[in-house]
Chain A
Amino acid sequence: MLRKAIAFAALGLFLTAGPVLAGTTEKEPQNVHWSFEGPFGKFDTAQVQRGYKVYREVCSACHAMEQMYFRNLGQKGGPFYDPEFKNPNDNPYVKSLAKDIQVKDIDSDTGDVIQRAAGTADRFPSPFPNEPAARASNGGALPPDLSVIVKAREGGPQYIYSLLTGFRNPPAGLTLGAGLHYNPWFPGDLSSSWSGAHDKVPEGGAIAMAPPLAAGKVTFDDKSPSTVEQQAKDVVAFLAWASDPKATERKQFGVGAMIYLLIFSVLLWFSYRRVWRNIGH
């Protein structure tokens, strides 16, 4: 019975995972192992810290993270959590990270728009004042907000990693417009830019984002090698944490809840057997 129920639920999963877009193609994401996978997975703090640096020094030039506040970096489960400072707003390291960034504010005396150093209660500032400005600076394309990007893409962390490391020289016969870059992992339909055989249209799409990462672009404080793969892995870990900052707490709570329910079910099973012992049915 239960097996059937589970199978039915699993089927539900399968149905939602099913859709394939007609005309659009992309490569299957690479299979990368993450420390935060599975019911017991946890974020690798050092990796998420490095990932924050990659976001701050590279991605944040174009991508906003409007759900994120600096205080989130120092909250429990966050990359810069310090048990000495339960309130992340007191965490001196988080304060100093915030102070490096300028945010817009209103001068309360004059009403003028001013720039000031960010505090822990400030949101991550957006690189562009509005959507048209963002599009104007990026050849008409809108850099998506990265707050929940790992949840907002089919394939999650594997997809983002594959995309970041997946820029390739376009194959002969593929002519892309100015400001577009070939990436086999980016979902798209390249048939209109393809001059080769009809049944050999390359997988993937044309993305307006130029290859963002390069070897040595970010210097990691812990002497990790600054390869494209390392940068990509680290920033994906950071984005995965930012997309679901309560993931570790949720899983730990879940293990307790499952054990509780399991014991409760066993007790109820024996109670059931005992209550029904004299009933022929």
Chain B
Amino acid sequence: MSGHSTYEPKSGFERWLDVRLPILRFANDTVVTFPTPKNLNYWYTFGGILALMLGIQIVTGIVLAMHYVPHIDMAFNSVQRIKRDVNYGWLIQGMHANGASMFFLAVYVHMFRGLYYGSYKAPREVLWLLGCVIYLLMIITGFFGYVLPWGQMSFHGAVVITNLIGALPIVGPAITTWLWGGFAVDDATLNRFFSLHYLLPFVIAGVVALHIWALHVPGNSNPKGVEVKSDADTVPFHPYYTVKDGFAISVFLLLYASFVFFAPDILGDAVNYVKANPLVTPAHIVPEWYLLPFYAILRAVPDKLLGVLTMGGAIACLFVLPWLDTSKVRSMRYRPAIRLWYFIFFVVCIILGFCGAHAPDDQLIRGVAGMQIGDANINSFVWLSRFATLYYFAYFLVITPLIGLTETPLPVPESISEPILSHPAAMPAGAAASPEMRG
């Protein structure tokens, strides 16, 4: 896509095609000869894993759509029918449902990797923005998909989430009615969610194509965060990264398969095996695990509209991150000042997930009644999520810009293949502090 093409048509047909539609040249330049930094570690294999997961979700989803019935009276039973009577339906449905979790697991690793190595910095802002768009589309698609089995959590989750949009001033109620296709979550809602759930993955695939395009213009970032200087810094994508990504994919599939075959329901909620009943609200409505941190942020704010805006802001922070980071150094390997804040940020995201899974008033430490400040019980998940939310935003809006301006980074290597020449003493310290396994 960029740089000089080294493709040489080998047969008469390839030469004929090359002057008409150079698709083989394109494929060759993209996935065969593409020069890739030679120091990418295993954290960088999740891009390939994500591409595979998107493919698996689309293929299994298309088969499921052949058997699924988007009707409130039949949707639940049709999913059961797929698992019981369709040939290998249990496998296809299990791969799709658990595939969503694996997809999100991989995207979170991919995003945290991007954060750590500063992959969003110039000239890769558009690459990062497209990634944020993909993530946003994934959330929406995942939500629509979770509604389709029409279990109790599907239905009441849909009610809660669509009602959130109603909190927006002026346009909110109109959008909600439009989303519902009526005045409540009902058959019309299920039908349009099914339609959109089928549509959006192809939109994601389109944005993924742009994402890869935007990747191949500046080329991959890498753990050292220095740009490619010479051919000595790179290896051709094939066979070097096809085999490395292939190995990582295979190991990832082991994890995926262990869920699909031995614990297909463990990531879901038992309540969703009860058919949706609008008259019976589950005691505890929670989203799937991958959305729990945002759910916690939403509930951390007592006001509904502000809660929705805060939750939206949490995702918006990702979009503007390239312009919040003031550091000249790309990789956190050479930014000791921010590394600890980064790991705290990671832990805070996990804590937010815990908070999202618990009822807001649940005691954090069981049996300790005190810690009352005014009318606030600090020993509760809602207060923990408030502190965590505060840190989440502070990390993006305060810590990242400030540390970039005040830090003293470690010396950065001259190039990917050269060790640090000017400061030989600093090298071991930098290398020892790098937390990732060297590939």
Contacts and interface: CB of A to CB of B under 8 A. Distances in A.
Interface stretch (B190-198, B353-361, B370-378): B353-361
A12 B290 contact: yes
Contacts of B39: 281
B101 A258 contact: no
Given A1-B43, A16-B357, A269 B270 contact: no
Nearest to A262: B254
Contacts of B290: 12
B255 A5 contact: yes
A258 B286 contact: no
A17 B424 CA distance: 50
Contacts of A66: 77
Interface residues of B, number: 67
Given A280-B417, A281-B38, A8 B247 contact: no
Contact of A2 (B94, B251, B273, B362): B251
Interface of B: 38-39, 42-43, 77, 80-81, 83-84, 90-91, 94, 101, 105, 108-109, 235, 239-240, 243-244, 246-247, 250-255, 257-262, 264-271, 273-275, 283-284, 286, 288-290, 292, 350, 353-354, 356-359, 361-362, 417, 436-439
The DSSP consensus for interface residues of chain A is helix
B198 to A, nearest CB: 25
Nearest to A156: B270
B101 A257 contact: no
Contacts of B350: 11
Interface of A: 1-2, 5-6, 8-9, 11-13, 15-22, 24, 39, 66-67, 72, 144-145, 147-148, 151-154, 156, 243, 245-246, 249-251, 253-255, 257-258, 261-262, 264-265, 268-269, 271-272, 275-276, 279-281
B254 A275 contact: no
B91 A253 contact: yes
Given A12-B267, A15-B289, A39 B247 contact: no
Contacts of A249: 90
Contacts of A255: 261
Given A152-B270, A264-B250, A272 B257 contact: no
Given A12-B101, A15-B357, A257-B261, A5 B250 contact: no
Contacts, number: 147
A21 B359 contact: yes
Nearest to A247: B90
A265 B251 contact: yes
A5 B261 contact: no
Given A15-B353, A20-B358, A258 B257 contact: yes
Contacts of A15: 289, 292, 353-354, 356-357
A39 B261 CA distance: 8
The 10 closest A-B pairs by CB, nearest first: A254-B261, A152-B273, A268-B247, A265-B250, A18-B357, A246-B90, A12-B289, A151-B273, A21-B283, A15-B357
A271 B289 contact: no
Given A20-B359, A22-B359, A276-B244, A250 B270 contact: no
Nearest to A274: B243
B111 to A, nearest CB: 13
Given A24-B283, A268-B243, A275-B240, 20 more contacts: A1-B436, A8-B108, A15-B289, A17-B266, A20-B359, A21-B283, A21-B359, A22-B361, A151-B265, A153-B270, A245-B84, A246-B83, A246-B84, A258-B257, A264-B250, A265-B247, A265-B251, A268-B246, A275-B239, A281-B39
A67 B89 CA distance: 15
Nearest to B265: A151
A108 B130 CA distance: 61
Nearest to A270: B247
Contacts of B235: 279
A152 B244 contact: no
22 contacts: A2-B255, A8-B109, A9-B101, A11-B350, A16-B268, A16-B289, A20-B359, A21-B283, A66-B77, A151-B265, A152-B271, A251-B261, A254-B257, A258-B257, A261-B253, A265-B250, A265-B254, A272-B243, A275-B240, A276-B240, A279-B240, A281-B438
